[in-house]
Amino acid sequence: MKRIIIFFFTSLITLILMAGITLAEEGKVCIGCHRVVTPLMVKDWQSSEHSDNEVTCDVCHGSEHKSKKTSHLARMPDENICAECHEEQFNQFTKGKHNLGWTSLNALPITHMEPDELMEGGKGCGGCHNMGVKSEAQKKELREKGYTYRTNSCDECHTRHTFSKKEAQDPKACRTCHMGFDHPQWEMYESSKHGVRYQLKEIGRLPKDAAAPTCQFCHLPNGTHTNKVAWGFLAVRLPLPKDKQWAKDQTAILKALGVLDPEGKPTARLDVVKAADMVRLTEEDWQAERKKMIKTCKKCHSEKYATGELEKGDQMIRKTDRLMAEAINIVADLYKDGILKKPTHYTYAYPDFLHFYQTGGSYIEQVLFKMYMKHRMRTYQGVFHANPDYAYWYGWAAMTKSLDEVKKIAKDLRFKKRR
C-alpha cells in the first residue's frame, strides 16, 4: 500500500514537472524566433509581470503556430483568456459601462452608415468603442469582414505586452478616449485644480502625500474595474425630474434622441438605449451612483461641500436643457410648418441627434447638433470636473451663441419661404 502511494506521488510530481517543462519550452520556441521577428515586442513582454511568472506567448496565443508560414494560426486572445487568471477584474469589468462600449456604438443608426474602417477597423468611433466582451456571433461577423484584431478590452488601459498596473493607474491611460469634441474629460481634468495638483505631485513640487485625485480615484475607486456614474453621457434620466419645466425640456431632448416619437410615445430605440444602459432608469439607481461619488469626495472634502458642488452640476444640466429645448422646438416647428424637409433616413420629421452630422444637408440641423453634442456636454461635464473655463466659455457661452444662431437661421428660412 505504502509503495503504491509513493509511486502515485512520484508519478504526479514527474507529470507536473513535465508539464512545466513543456510549457516553458513552448514559450522558448516562440521567444527564440520572435526575438528576431518582433524584437522590441519581446523586450516589452520581458519587462512585464507575466514574464516573471512564466506567462509566455503561447499561454495567450496558443501553440498551433510555430513557424514563419503559420502565423495565421496564432489565436488573438479575447478577455476570456485573461479571465482564466484574473477572474475578479474580469467580473468587475463586465458589470461596468466600458463593457457596453461596443453595444452602444452599434445601437446608433449612424454607425451603420459610416465607413467600416472607422468602426470595425477601429480608426474612428470603433477605436474607442471596441471595449466589451463580444459574443461568438459578433466575433464571427468581425472575422468574416476581415477584422481580426482589437478583440481584447483589457489592453486599453494596461497596453500589451507590458500589461502594467502602474500604467493603468495614471490618468493618461484614459486620455486617448476621454478627450476631444464631445467628452474632453482629459482636457478638463488636466487644467482643473485636481489635475494640476496631480501633475505637481508627479514632478515633486508637491509632497508625495499631497491630496490629488486621479480619474481612477473617482471612477474606479479601490482598484475596481466597474465604472458608472449617476448622469452618464446623455445626461437624461428616467423617471423625469419632478420640476415640471425641466421634465418638459428633457422630454424635448428625449424626442430629439429618437427614444420618444414626436408625440411623446416611446419608440423601439428606447429599448436599445435601455439595453446599453445609456440612462439610469430608476431614482434609486441614480442615487446609488451619486452616493458612491460623494463617498469618494468625502475622503478630502466635507460632505456638505461635495454635495453642494455636485448639485451645481445637476442645476446646470437643468439650465442647459432649457436652452436646448428652445432650440429643438424651433427646428421641430420648421419641419411641422413645411419649411424644412424630412431627411430621407430620418424616421420622423423631427431633429434626430443620433444621426450626428448626417442630416438632410441643412445647416440649422448641424448647428443644433453641435449645440447638443459639443456645448451642452462641455457645460455640465466642466462643472462636474471643476473646470471653470470649459463650463463657461466652451460650454454655456457657446450654447447661448448657438441658440441665437438657430433663431436667426430659422427666421431667414421662414422669410425665404414667404417670398
Question: What is the footprint of ligand HEC within residues 146-185 (CB under 6 A)?
Answer: 149-158, 160-161, 163-166, 168-169, 171, 173-174, 176-178, 180, 183, 185
**Residue type for 313, please?**
G
Which residues in 63-92 contact ligand HEC (CB under 6 A)? 63, 65-68, 71, 74, 76-77, 79, 81-82, 84-86, 89-90
Q: Does 53 bind ligand HEC (CB under 6 A)?
A: yes
Per-residue CA distances from 185 to 228, 275, 396 (Å): 15, 25, 16
Shortest spacing between CB 91 and ligand HEC, in angstroms: 9
Q: Which stretch binds ligand HEC (CB under 6 A): 2-10, 304-312, 320-328, 331-339?
A: 304-312
Shortest spacing between CB 49 and ligand HEC, in angstroms: 4
User: What span, in angstroms and rounded, lies between the C-alpha atoms of 127 and 115?
Assistant: 13
C-alpha cell at 272: 436599445
Shortest spacing between CB 56 and ligand HEC, in angstroms: 6
Which residues in 306-335 contact ligand HEC (CB under 6 A)? 306, 309-310
Side-chain half-sphere CA neighbours of 137 within 13 A:
0
What angle is formed at CA 291 by the lines to CA 285 and CA 297, rounded to 5 degrees? 145
Residue 21 CB coordination number (10 Å)? 10
Side-chain half-sphere CA neighbours of 124 within 13 A:
10
C-alpha cell at 334: 420648421
- Name 273's Cβ contacts closer than 8 Å, sequence gap at least 6: 107, 257, 259, 279
Shortest spacing between CB 43 and ligand HEC, in angstroms: 9
* Per-position x/- string for 11-50, each x denoting binding to ligand HEC as judged by CB under 6 A, each - no binding: ---------------x--xxx-xx--xx--xx--x---xx
User: What span, in angstroms and rounded, lies between the C-alpha atoms of 46 and 30?
Assistant: 13
* Per-position x/- string for 124-143, each x denoting binding to ligand HEC as judged by CB under 6 A, each - no binding: xx-xxx-x------------
User: How big is the site for ligand HEC, counted in residues (CB under 6 A)?
Assistant: 122
Shortest spacing between CB 228 and ligand HEC, in angstroms: 4
Shortest spacing between CB 115 and ligand HEC, in angstroms: 11
Q: Does 395 bind ligand HEC (CB under 6 A)?
A: no
For ligand HEC, the closer of residues 212 and 330 by Cβ is 212
Per-residue CA distances from 213 to 95, 116, 219, 390 (Å): 23, 38, 10, 19
Interacting residue with ligand HEC among 120, 134, 147, 219 (CB under 6 A): 219
Q: Does 206 bind ligand HEC (CB under 6 A)?
A: no
User: What span, in angstroms and rounded, lies between the C-alpha atoms of 344 and 361?
Assistant: 11
For ligand HEC, the closer of residues 329 and 347 by Cβ is 347
201-224 burial by CB neighbour count: b if 16+ within 10 A, else e? Answer: beeeebeeeeebbbbbbbbbbeee
Interacting residue with ligand HEC among 12, 275, 288, 300 (CB under 6 A): 300
C-alpha cell at 315: 442645476
Q: Does 373 bind ligand HEC (CB under 6 A)?
A: no
For ligand HEC, the closer of residues 19 and 37 by Cβ is 37
Shortest spacing between CB 259 and ligand HEC, in angstroms: 12
C-alpha cell at 219: 471612477
Per-residue CA distances from 171 to 84, 178, 186 (Å): 27, 10, 8
Shortest spacing between CB 14 and ligand HEC, in angstroms: 22
Residue 195 CB coordination number (10 Å)? 22
Q: Which stretch binds ligand HEC (CB under 6 A): 56-64, 338-346, 367-375, 397-405?
A: 56-64
Interacting residue with ligand HEC among 270, 328, 331, 386 (CB under 6 A): 386
For ligand HEC, the closer of residues 335 and 376 by Cβ is 376
User: What span, in angstroms and rounded, lies between the C-alpha atoms of 91 and 157?
Assistant: 16
**Residue type for 344, please?**
T
For ligand HEC, the closer of residues 212 and 413 by Cβ is 212
For ligand HEC, the closer of residues 54 and 404 by Cβ is 54
